[in-house]
Structure 1
Amino acid sequence: MLNPMSVMVLLEGEFRRLVLWGPVLLALGALAYFVWPYEPGYGAGLLLPACIAVVGLGACFYWRGSLAARLGGGAGVALAVGFAAAWLAAHRQPPMPELPRRATELTGIVQDVAYFPALSGQGGPVRRVTLAHGVLHDFVDDGMAPLRRSLSIRLAPQDEGSVAPGDGLRVRVVLQPPPFPALPGGRDKQFEAWFSGQAGGGYALAGAQVEPGQPQKLFGYQHALTMLRQRVDARIRQILPGSSGTVVATLLAGRAESVPQNVREDFAASGLAHLLAVAGLHLGIVMGAAMLVCRMGLAAWEYAALRWPCKAIAAGTAWVVGGGYVLLTGAHLPAERSWMMSSVVVLGLVVGRRAVSMRGLALAATIMLLVAPQVVLDVAFQMSMAAVMALVAGYEALQLRILRWVSGMSGAKHTLARHGVMLVLTSLLAGTATLPVVMAHFGVVQPFFVLANLVAVPLMALWIMPLGLVALVAMPLHVDAPFLHLMSGGVRVVLWLAHCVAGWPGARIAVPAMPGWGLAAVLLGLCWLCLWRGAWRWWGMPVVLLGTITPWLVTQPDILISPDGQLMGVKDVATLRVMGHARDERALKAAWAQALALPVSDFSGTGENRAETADGSLLCGESEVAGTCALLRYGQEVILRIHDPSDGRIPLPDDVCAQAAAVVSVAPLRVSCPHVPVRLDRFSAWRGGAQAVFLAHGVRVTSDRQKQGERLWVLKPGGHGMPTLPLAQAE
């Protein structure tokens, strides 16, 4: 049993590793703000963290000789800074505007044009434009200021007009705000839209037209980069139509939205999904190739080789090329993190210090958490940090042993053995560290990820990406077609590999939703395992294992209700029985199936015909009221009214509700079943969002509004935002 003195002795032995916990505490402070049950005001959001930070700094300076005081004070400062940074980041965002609930004319300036595959898999790609400075032209919004947030608009399929970034567009659209989560604790698209500057999306009802009176160009480097990405994407799609071309466009221009859904599923099931997300692997290959070419060129020049610091020059050149690649592919979060770490590596090479270390990762994480604290809840940030942390810690512990093991070999055998072991170790470390994160966000486990990566990663590093870089260099001269075709050949091999591995039995194992505290336990346990060096680092392993198995430790809901109250899902032994109809029915079913790890089947109970599940727990059509079902489970009876033509005006008979512990209706209950303890209808869903009903120990209801609380990014009931105000009249 450890006492405080022995703990301090252990901490003193890990003194140089204590700084690595700075970004972990920053992340915990930001997380504390995001899970706060209500929106903190200025006092709790800024004043209180400032006081804590001042007290912490004072403790560090006053008791500078005490390690305990410095640790406590430093931890308080980091937590307070993380909380305040998250509060400031959330309050810097413009409010979510109120969007019209009817068709309206919309004008705006095109920021980006993206091509998505058709939903049915048939026909050409679907174009979706991102509009900035949108203006709504109807009698309610007439004279309003332009929207401060962007809108994502799906153009009509028959619209074949040319649209480019910078064009002014006028189109008649139907708009929708960001949707509420499909179930309590589910993916929060309103949170994502709040921090990404989006107001919602919609679809065009007719062809769009370029507005002559609108400015035709967006000025600045962002427009130039957007136009460059569009031209690269268009060139690739012209030369390489088909699935391989969409993957090439993802690797060279960051246009991952055009990848077909079946290809995404194959890559996800085979553990190769990271190849479609431009991140550290791709940036490392690009910078490595640039550094190799520059270093060889300088070495071949005698004057430079004898007088210049060729290694530092090559590293700086690779850093610039890597930054250009990050911008060309859209500057996504994993790529930005990788480029920040590469900056530390380049600095280490220039000054002659150790290039790759855990301190570089900590510095990159600190910068990202201070600039955009919301990344703490982002799957890309969690996966990239977990993978790199596991790689650095794993190589710190195992690299010398591997080198000793291959030291007895010679020649080509030594090289092949060393690179083969390193490749297997890299795939194993990164894949194992990110496995719980994938479980939490995507609800799957891919057991064959190591085997697939053994072939795909070397092919990506030695064939696909180098040819892609040559193609980019040759593209302005229009001699890029041969290199793109050769690159496409390697991509087709990866596509074939992903499809084969995805078809193996057990390649994709569905797991239930992991609770938030389970994912937090996994990440904190992984930090404990990787950031320390002593034997007590292994104390983090039980915490990681506990967090990993939490999907099977928590109770699953028996009934799920959609945010609009129009769709119900009843969990059976091996199936989720879905009844009713909703506007976003397909997305809701997919989210429910992933959360419960169960297949979805429609259960008809809207007519007068009798319908019953195999175990008899769900029975429809038994009473004289059409569209009414009864669920009998754990000694509880729940009445489900899944169809009501009268919209609640005709009450349910008293004998139907006599023994019910709860009643759920797609229509307003009004005066129906007044004595039933739990009454859920369209109005309760309108007020509380999606709902989950648990029947194991009495009827317990959890709503999405209870999970989210009253926060800035949570829209008002019904998806309403802040009304836009008219511009002031000119005098």
Structure 2
Amino acid sequence: MNGAFRFDPDEPDVLTPETTARMVLPSRIGTMVQEQGRRLPSWLPVFFGVGAIAYFLPRHEPGFLCPAVVFCGALVIVATLWRRPLARLGGFALLIASAGFLDVQLCAHRQPDMPYLPSRAVILSGEVARIDAVAETNGQANRRVVLKRVVFESGLDIGMSPLRRTLRISLKARDPAVFLPGARLRMRALLRLTPWPSSPGGRDMQREAWFAGQAGTGTVLGTVSVLSGGRTPLLEHTREAIAASLMTWLPDQRGAIAATLLAGETASLSTQTRDDFAVSGLAHLLAVAGLHLGLVMGFVVMALRLLMAACPPVALRWPCREIAVIVGFVAGGLYVLLTGSHLPAVRALGMAAFGTVALLAGRRVLSMRALALVALGIMAFAPYVVLDVSFQMSFAAVMALIAAYDVMRGGLLNLRGEGGVLRGAGTHGVALVLTSVVAGLATLPVSLAHFGLFQPWFVLANLLAVPLAGLWVMPAGIIALLLMPLGLARLPVHVMGAGIALIMRMAHGVAGFPVAVTPVPAMPGWGLLLYLLGLCFLCLWRGKARLCGLLPILFAMASPWLVARPDVLVAPDAGSMAVRVDEGLAVGMGSGLDRLVVRDWTQALALPTVDLADVGTCDGSFCRVKTAGGVVLMRPQDRSDGFDVPPEAFCREASLFVTQSPAREACPGLPFIDRFSVWRDGAFAAYAGPHGWKLVSDRAWRGDRFWVPAPGSRGVPNLPMAQAE
């Protein structure tokens, strides 16, 4: 052959379809990739995140050699095969993924060791790093303080070095102590380690505590003594003053919601209000994030532009649009500071900063590249956030919105036309509705994966509530904030309260609809990853091939029903155990300390709870329950009079023995889960199979990682400082 191919006598004279496919397919893929053009940089955070997630997959702590070799190999590929587009792009993808792996690995190694916490009540002192207000109990506001540089002052801990990690301590509701951040407190408290996952594969709070620098939690016994006063931050004082004024003018849940929206104070929200907003799918309205920041900035920009346009000399001589955008961004930054600088709001502010710079430079305000830069910056600084639900939901929502508005931009521009204020306000309302629907659909699978609850009426609730919040509640709130220094904020606050009352009635009404909350089985981790990758392909890829992203999304939505569900569950302290039966989840509890664990089980399996005695045959301390894998013998309570050995007949007919007491010699030859098992390996899940029971422990699931305590370990002691010579 002449031209592109050389003649080889060993090759056939005619190209076969297979040979043609091997030649054409790489060229076709290369063409499709090159057509992406400036969209390709948007994939950088995707590969970085995949590399960071890969760090958490091994069962043993990985070494640095393998990822370093991959990183260097990717550099070699990029440098030597620069003229080959596919090889170059593959090398870049591998390079970014290995960088994400190394980044989170270095971050994990930099964390201080988990310290030993006394198992009994201890006297301690520490500096207040943060004060968190939590929900009221019996009409009393609760407080939770985060202490740093904690020193133990009792027992063998005297003389130990201050903790390098923080402690989160819950105060009593009626504690009279008054203090500010920076104060030095002294108290007697009962400390607890970060709890183990409720089941293998469940939420790993120990991993979260490892990267957050937390050592554990505690509860105050008695009263708190203030050893030294703290500073009085102007911002904290302003926030408290605003919240107090709102609660004075609106002394009910309207004031509590107003204080949440304008000052970030959530302590006064009642349980009923939280439940109504959560069940109706409006919980995001109570969490200050990107939606609220966008509403604030949008209102300020629009109002300022209208005011400047109303003054002809200003409109003709000044750059009104640029001034309005800058003032709007400053207002958004002040709003984020005023509401507590929560992480979702800070992320949204970073995105708004890129949008402001783009608008001033005459570029598109919302773009995938700006979102990619923000996401890459956040992950480079804290790569472990890829597993955080708020990070996943916020960026999934923003990415879906940018992609959706790329498609809907022409229709919205035609709707707005050359109309006046009313047509512009109508277009703004339609955009709010579309924003709510698109963001809700994009974050729905993430919510299902983490919480296992589906609110089928959330679209209807958001169609009505979000426009009310954007066109009524938040504008009135902003006006109230501006008029508070002048003492003229009472009227706009009451206007804001009227809008909040409508949203509250709407949330309560939707929460009362049939099947307002439908539990669904929890999505496995690989299903969530598959959904996020499919969403990225659907939103980032250009061309009709982007629709291929729907396939992994649909498969991810079906994943909860494609994995095996455990037949028996045992709590990390063996205080609760459950068997999956036709009626639901039969639970046997030795005490009420594991109610949160049982709640996690019912949420993950989407099953109601039934009493163990109602579905099994109980005789004394033992209950027998028939399952698909055979009879399960259970002893849910550890009697104080010692361990009762089960009758031989019980052991003979059973195929699995689960007990809160030690069971080493109780039923010889029978698989068992007892107190020693969970003490060593954490929570257990048992799966019935054709060849018997498969027992999976939390330790077997998570492996030997930094944040997984060793068997029987409570951490490392804080040794006293060496004496100076």
Deviation larger for 106-115 or 567-576: 106-115
1:282 aligned partner = 292
- Give, in whole Å, the separation in 2 of the partners of 1:358 and 1:118: 42
2:11 aligned partner = none
Query: Which residue identity is paired with 2:542?
Result: R
**Kept after mapping to 1: 8 A contact 2:179/2:230:** no
Q: Could you report, residue by residue, the CA deviation over 1:622-674 in whole angstroms, capped at 9, with x for unpaired residues?
A: xxxx2101122225222111224267654333332123322111011132112
**Kept after mapping to 1: 8 A contact 2:629/2:693:** no
The CA RMSD measured in Å over matched residues stands at: 2.4
CA distance change for structure 1 residues 205 and 83 in 2, over 3 Å: closer, same or farther? same
Pair 1:271 & 2:281 matched: yes
Counterparts of residues 418-437 of structure 1 (less than 5 Å):
418-419=427-428, 421-437=430-446
CA distance change for structure 1 residues 527 and 477 in 2, over 3 Å: closer, same or farther? same
Pair 1:558 & 2:576 matched: no
Q: Secondary structure at the match of 1:555?
A: coil
Counterparts of residues 465-544 of structure 1 (less than 5 Å):
465-544=474-553
2:50 aligned partner = 28
CA distance change for structure 1 residues 673 and 547 in 2, over 3 Å: closer, same or farther? same
Q: Secondary structure at the match of 2:173?
A: coil
**Kept after mapping to 1: 8 A contact 2:255/2:497:** yes
- Give, in whole Å, the separation in 1 of the partners of 2:710 and 2:547: 46
CA distance change for structure 1 residues 339 and 573 in 2, over 3 Å: closer, same or farther? same
1:196 aligned partner = 212
Quick one: which of 312, 322, 325 aligns to 2:322?
312
State the 1:93 CA deviation. 2.3
1:89 aligned partner = 107
**Kept after mapping to 2: 8 A contact 1:151/1:198:** yes
**Kept after mapping to 1: 8 A contact 2:622/2:634:** yes
1:205 aligned partner = 221
State the 1:386 CA deviation. 1.0
1:174 aligned partner = 190
- Give, in whole Å, the separation in 2 of the partners of 1:477 and 1:88: 52
Query: Which residue identity is paired with 1:51?
Result: V
Quick one: which of 712, 718, 723 aligns to 1:724?
718
Query: Which residue identity is paired with 2:547?
Result: W
- Give, in whole Å, the separation in 1 of the partners of 2:695 and 2:325: 58
Query: Which residue identity is paired with 2:102?
Result: A
Q: Secondary structure at the match of 2:155?
A: coil
- Give, in whole Å, the separation in 1 of the partners of 2:267 and 2:610: 29
CA distance change for structure 1 residues 108 and 411 in 2, over 3 Å: closer, same or farther? closer
2:25 aligned partner = 3
CA distance change for structure 1 residues 721 and 262 in 2, over 3 Å: closer, same or farther? farther
Deviation larger for 359-368 or 56-65: 56-65
Q: Secondary structure at the match of 1:146?
A: coil
- Give, in whole Å, the separation in 1 of the partners of 2:588 and 2:652: 23
Q: Could you report, residue by residue, the CA deviation over 1:201-237 in whole angstroms, capped at 9, with x for unpaired residues?
A: 22111111211xx3x2259xxx554444444444444
State the 1:64 CA deviation. 2.0
Counterparts of residues 53-452 of structure 1 (less than 5 Å):
53-119=71-137, 122-211=138-227, 214=228, 216-218=229-231, 223-256=233-266, 258-296=268-306, 298-299=308-309, 305-404=315-414, 415=424, 418-419=427-428, 421-452=430-461
- Give, in whole Å, the separation in 1 of the partners of 2:205 and 2:235: 27
2:12 aligned partner = none
Pair 1:620 & 2:614 matched: no
- Give, in whole Å, the separation in 1 of the partners of 2:267 and 2:568: 34
State the 1:538 CA deviation. 0.7
- Give, in whole Å, the separation in 2 of the partners of 1:325 and 1:411: 29
Query: Which residue identity is paired with 1:627?
Result: S
**Kept after mapping to 2: 8 A contact 1:566/1:666:** yes
**Kept after mapping to 1: 8 A contact 2:632/2:655:** yes
Q: Could you report, residue by residue, the CA deviation over 1:53-88 in whole angstroms, capped at 9, with x for unpaired residues?
A: 333233223322211111111001110111111112
Q: Secondary structure at the match of 2:147?
A: strand
**Kept after mapping to 2: 8 A contact 1:165/1:227:** no
Q: Could you report, residue by residue, the CA deviation over 1:460-509 in whole angstroms, capped at 9, with x for unpaired residues?
A: 11222222223333444554444333322222211111110111112211
Quick one: which of 624, 627, 631 aligns to 1:630?
624
1:691 aligned partner = 684
**Kept after mapping to 2: 8 A contact 1:182/1:591:** yes
Query: Which residue identity is paired with 1:108?
Result: G
CA distance change for structure 1 residues 11 and 90 in 2, over 3 Å: closer, same or farther? same
Q: Could you report, residue by residue, the CA deviation over 1:259-285 in whole angstroms, capped at 9, with x for unpaired residues?
A: 323222211221111111211111111
Unmatched tracts of structure 2, length 5 or more: 1-20
Quick one: which of 43, 62, 69 aligns to 1:51?
69
Q: Secondary structure at the match of 1:125?
A: strand
Pair 1:711 & 2:705 matched: yes
Q: Secondary structure at the match of 2:133?
A: strand
1:665 aligned partner = 659
Q: Could you report, residue by residue, the CA deviation over 1:139-177 in whole angstroms, capped at 9, with x for unpaired residues?
A: 221012222222222222332332332322211111111
**Kept after mapping to 2: 8 A contact 1:113/1:163:** no
- Give, in whole Å, the separation in 2 of the partners of 1:65 and 1:102: 66
**Kept after mapping to 1: 8 A contact 2:455/2:518:** yes
1:608 aligned partner = none
User: Scaled by the length of structure 2, what TM-score is found?
Assistant: 0.91
CA distance change for structure 1 residues 233 and 176 in 2, over 3 Å: closer, same or farther? farther
Q: Could you report, residue by residue, the CA deviation over 1:224-264 in whole angstroms, capped at 9, with x for unpaired residues?
A: 54444444444444444432222222212223354323222
- Give, in whole Å, the separation in 1 of the partners of 2:372 and 2:555: 25
Deviation larger for 152-161 or 19-28: 152-161
Q: Secondary structure at the match of 1:285?
A: helix
1:679 aligned partner = 672
**Kept after mapping to 2: 8 A contact 1:165/1:226:** no
**Kept after mapping to 1: 8 A contact 2:429/2:467:** no
**Kept after mapping to 2: 8 A contact 1:560/1:570:** yes
**Kept after mapping to 1: 8 A contact 2:123/2:188:** yes
**Kept after mapping to 1: 8 A contact 2:136/2:268:** no
Q: Secondary structure at the match of 2:131?
A: strand
- Give, in whole Å, the separation in 1 of the partners of 2:247 and 2:416: 45
Query: Which residue identity is paired with 1:17?
Result: R
| Aligned pairs, number | 702
- Give, in whole Å, the separation in 2 of the partners of 1:419 and 1:689: 52
CA distance change for structure 1 residues 295 and 95 in 2, over 3 Å: closer, same or farther? farther
Q: Secondary structure at the match of 1:127?
A: strand
State the 1:679 CA deviation. 1.5
State the 1:401 CA deviation. 4.0
Counterparts of residues 637-652 of structure 1 (less than 5 Å):
637-645=631-639, 649-652=643-646
State the 1:400 CA deviation. 1.7
State the 1:99 CA deviation. 1.2
Query: Which residue identity is paired with 2:574?
Result: G
State the 1:306 CA deviation. 4.5
Query: Which residue identity is paired with 2:123?
Result: E
**Kept after mapping to 2: 8 A contact 1:94/1:149:** yes
CA distance change for structure 1 residues 190 and 665 in 2, over 3 Å: closer, same or farther? same
